[in-house]
Amino acid sequence: MDSHHWLKLPFMVWWLVTVVKQCHGQIRRTTSDSLTSKATYGYISVKKHDGVKLDVEILNKPQKSTHQECIAGCRDFPNCFSINVNQIDADSVDCELLEGDRFRNIANMTSAVGYTHYSINHDCEYEDTCIHPNKICIPNYVNGSHQCICPDEFVDEFCLKRRDDTLNLAYQKPATQSAPYNHDFVDLTPVTNGIYGEGCQHIHTEKNYAPWLRIDLGTWNYITKVDIYNRVGTTTTYLNRILNTEIYVYGESPDKERKLCGVTKGGPEFISTVCPKALPGKGVELSKPSPGSNGKTIHICEVLVYGAER
Ligand SMILES: *[C@@H]1O[C@H](CO)[C@@H](O)[C@H](O)[C@H]1NC(C)=O
Ligand SMILES: *[C@@H]1O[C@H](CO)[C@@H](O)[C@H](O)[C@H]1NC(C)=O
């Protein structure tokens, strides 16, 4: 069942658009403006929860006749963050626009026959966003981020148990690549051998259209951070080739349970990328799939992967 309802309706609007980075959550809220005649499109993406309602103060109760119309009504209110719809009969509904959401008011979520609760689609809707059964995930609807509130003993920002921050999950794990540069650089052990900095040996992929390097962690982990040590003793131009490399976490195979951890920025001698949330996976991929101005190759000394066992 598809629980994501996308609405794309012509509307009299001005934009109040929030761009969300790398998250499931997306909100493009539109606000009606009767003074402009410009017709454009807006949407709100919601997640459906059948048989429940959120029992909080009602912000607005517009006259609507369908679920879709009621959801569309929420777009008009900058502080509408969830919706209750009560199907009265075949062609009428009670539409309740709410300022609260189920995350901040979990105790007010109740079973209610005939009701459907819609919440704004957000990372917090996904069970694995904060890694603990008693977590509370607080969405930020403005920039799409979230905050994990965890029981005391679970201390990090992902609700993962405090762990040894020096534990590198990639250490001595096998790597594969798109192709070796110039038929040389076939041995990929240097990229996970724990040796970086002065005197390290780097790996070097062929200048393919979309070069990649994968590290097989062997077991399922929650991955939270990927550090890259660049090759040494070369020019900044070459070092900068590492920029804009996409870092993915994948599951059973590179095309399964694939999620973007981040895109490399800064450095270029050392680049640390923190994932927006703890990503479950068995492998990490560095790839340069988009056309770039700065060399289509990956040549680095070491990749270190941090997180916790799943
Ligand atoms: C949640 O429900 C309680 C009890 O019905 C009520 O007093 C409280 O105001 C509700 N919370 C909100 C945010 O409306
Ligand atoms: C989003 O906004 C919150 C609150 O202002 C801030 O703490 C957080 O760092 C922001 N996150 C991102 C990804 O911009």
Q: Given this model, what pLDDT does residue 225 score?
A: 95
Residues 148, 207, single domain; the answer is: no
Residues 183, 240, single domain; the answer is: yes
H helix or E strand, kind and range, residue 71: helix 67-75
In this model, does residue 77 exceed pLDDT 60? yes
Is 245 exposed, middle or buried (CB count within 10 Å of its CB: 0-12, 13-18, 19+)? Answer: buried
136 assigned to some structural domain: yes
DSSP string for 32-64: E-TT---EEEEEEEEEEEEEEEE-S-EEE----
Residues 220, 98, single domain; the answer is: no
For residue 147, the CA-to-ligand 2 centroid distance in Å is: 9
Q: Given this model, what pLDDT does residue 31 score?
A: 43
Residues 273, 193, single domain; the answer is: yes
15 assigned to some structural domain: no
Whole-prediction pTM: 0.68
For residue 104, the CA-to-ligand 1 centroid distance in Å is: 11
Residues 131, 217, single domain; the answer is: no
**Residue 150 pLDDT level (bands cut at 50, 70, 90):** confident
For residue 39, the CA-to-ligand 1 centroid distance in Å is: 39
Q: Is the pLDDT higher at 133 or at 177?
A: 177
194 assigned to some structural domain: yes
Q: Given this model, what pLDDT does residue 43 score?
A: 66
Residues 95, 196, single domain; the answer is: no
Output the six-digit token pair for 58: 């009602």
Q: Given this model, what pLDDT does residue 37 score?
A: 41
From atom 13 of ligand 1, which residue's Cα is the shortest distance away?
A: 56
Single-letter amino acid code for the residue at 149: I
Domain count, the chain: 3
193 assigned to some structural domain: yes
In this model, does residue 178 exceed pLDDT 80? yes
In this model, does residue 10 exceed pLDDT 80? no
Q: Could you say which ligand is closest to the alpha carbon of residue 103?
A: 1
What CATH number corresponds to the domain at position 136?
A: 2.10.25
Q: Given this model, what pLDDT does residue 295 score?
A: 57
DSSP 8-state symbol, 70: H
Residues 78, 158, single domain; the answer is: no
Among 26, 140, 146, 263, name the best residue to mutate to test ligand 2's pocket (greatest count of ligand atoms within 8 A of Cβ): 140
Residues 223, 284, single domain; the answer is: yes
In this model, does residue 15 exceed pLDDT 50? no
Single-letter amino acid code for the residue at 220: W
What CATH number corresponds to the domain at position 114?
A: 3.50.4.10
Place of tokens 């148990």: 161
4 assigned to some structural domain: no
Among 52, 53, 56, 57, name the best residue to mutate to test ligand 1's pocket (greatest count of ligand atoms within 8 A of Cβ): 56
Q: Could you say which ligand is closest to the alpha carbon of residue 23?
A: 2
For residue range 261-280, list pLDDT tens digits in order: 999 999 899 999 999 889 99
Q: Are 209 and 296 in contact (CB under 8 A)?
A: yes
Residues 6+ apart with CB under 8 A from 237: 294
In this model, does residue 76 exceed pLDDT 60? yes
205 assigned to some structural domain: yes
**Residue 1 pLDDT level (bands cut at 50, 70, 90):** very low
33 assigned to some structural domain: no
Residues 208, 291, single domain; the answer is: yes
Mean residue pLDDT of the chain comes to 83
Overall average pLDDT of the 138-142 stretch: 88
For residue 310, the CA-to-ligand 2 centroid distance in Å is: 27
Q: Given this model, what pLDDT does residue 85 score?
A: 97
For residue 247, the CA-to-ligand 1 centroid distance in Å is: 43
What CATH number corresponds to the domain at position 215?
A: 2.60.120.260
Nearest atom (ligand 2) to Cα of 21? 13
In this model, does residue 183 exceed pLDDT 60? yes
CA dihedral angle for residue 184, residue 188, residue 193, residue 196, rounded to 10 degrees: 50
d(CA 124, CA 305): 24
In this model, does residue 16 exceed pLDDT 70? no
11 assigned to some structural domain: no
**Residue 249 pLDDT level (bands cut at 50, 70, 90):** very high
Residues 148, 218, single domain; the answer is: no
Q: Given this model, what pLDDT does residue 26 score?
A: 44
Residues 234, 288, single domain; the answer is: yes
From atom 14 of ligand 1, which residue's Cα is the shortest distance away?
A: 56
Residues 193, 292, single domain; the answer is: yes
Please give the share of the chain, as a percent, with pLDDT higher than 70: 83
Range of the domain at 136: 124-162
For residue 145, the CA-to-ligand 2 centroid distance in Å is: 6
d(CA 8, CA 48): 17
Q: Given this model, what pLDDT does residue 207 score?
A: 85
